[in-house]
Amino acid sequence: MDEILQVFEDFQHQSHGRGRLSKSDFVKVYKQAFKGKNGVKALAENIFTAFDTDNSGFVDFEEFLAVSDVVPDDSFLQGLSPQAFSDRLFAEVDANGDGDITFEEFRMAAEQNETLIDLLLPSPT
């Protein structure tokens, strides 16, 4: 319960008390988490789109709870920039190397790729 309250307080701070984060607010959170590293804006925008489940253009607290387990620290990136990390992960999932990820490639990667599994599953708290 204490962790949820802390997440809520952080959310309220980041959303300036509005109860929802815009895409630009969301990008700011990720830039802070990644300490302004190159490529973080594109990564944050992609994650924002994935977690804006109701397509409202905002991430509300319920959506934010799911997202708060996915904000990686530097160790998660394994020493890579956010862009290099996402490029490496994309290449691993794109099994045939054609530049597109099919549902079958994604399904196979989601079953076998530990990095992708870690991204898809909430961290235990």
Domains detected in the chain: 2-120 (1.10.238.10)
Give the whole-angstrom CA distance, residue 12 versus residue 84: 31
Inform me whether the pLDDT recorded for 68 exceeds 60: no
Average pLDDT, the chain: 75
- Collect all residues with Cβ–Cβ distance below 8 Å to 23 and sequence separation of at least 6: 45, 48, 57
Give tens-digit pLDDT for 79-109: 777 667 777 877 888 889 888 778 788 778 8
DSSP 70-98: T---GGGGTT--HHHHHHHHHHHH-TT-S
What local confidence, expressed as pLDDT, does residue 58 receive?
92
What local confidence, expressed as pLDDT, does residue 77 receive?
64
* Structure tokens given for 101: 């990820």
What local confidence, expressed as pLDDT, does residue 82 receive?
67
Give tens-digit pLDDT for 9-30: 877 888 888 888 899 988 887 7
Inform me whether the pLDDT recorded for 56 exceeds 90: yes
Give the whole-angstrom CA distance, residue 73 versus residue 37: 12
What local confidence, expressed as pLDDT, does residue 23 receive?
92
User: Burial, 40: exposed, middle or buried (Cβ in 10 Å; 0-12, 13-18, 19+)?
Assistant: buried
